[in-house]
């Protein structure tokens, strides 16, 4: 049985971007990123990559995507490579 090559993080993000785009989100992790200054915008469905987040566990960090309908966050997406344990 041939092993498939593991996808890089960049390849995985491109796949997720395309899936989000197909269901109506503006998604492009190269351009629509929190650290590039992108923020929620009235009248747009944005999947903002690397949204800044804090928690009681890690204090600082980010989520892969924060989904916004206009100025309202409606969901977050966190992702792990298929070959990595989620613990």
- pLDDT value of position 58: 63
Binned at pLDDT 50, 70 and 90, residue 23 comes out as very high
CB–CB of 36/21 below 8 Å? no
CB–CB of 52/38 below 8 Å? no
- Classify residue 67 as exposed, middle or buried by CB count within 10 Å of its CB (0-12, 13-18, 19+): buried
- Per-residue pLDDT reduced to its tens digit, 28-85: 999 999 999 999 999 999 999 999 887 777 667 888 899 999 999 999 998 766 666 6
Provide the 8-state DSSP code for 68: E
Of the candidates 85, 46, 36, which has an alpha carbon nearest to the alpha carbon of residue 66? 46
pTM: 0.80
- pLDDT value of position 36: 94
- pLDDT value of position 13: 87
């Amino acid at each position: 049985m041939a092993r498939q090559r593991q996808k890089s993080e960049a390849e995985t993000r491109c796949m997720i971007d395309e899936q989000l785009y197909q269901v109506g989100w503006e998604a492009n992790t190269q351009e629509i990123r929190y650290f590039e200054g992108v923020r929620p915008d009235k009248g747009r469905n944005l999947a903002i990559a690397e949204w800044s987040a804090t928690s009681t566990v890690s204090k600082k960090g980010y989520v892969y995507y924060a989904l916004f309908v206009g100025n309202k966050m409606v969901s977050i997406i966190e992702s792990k490579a298929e070959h990595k344990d989620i613990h």
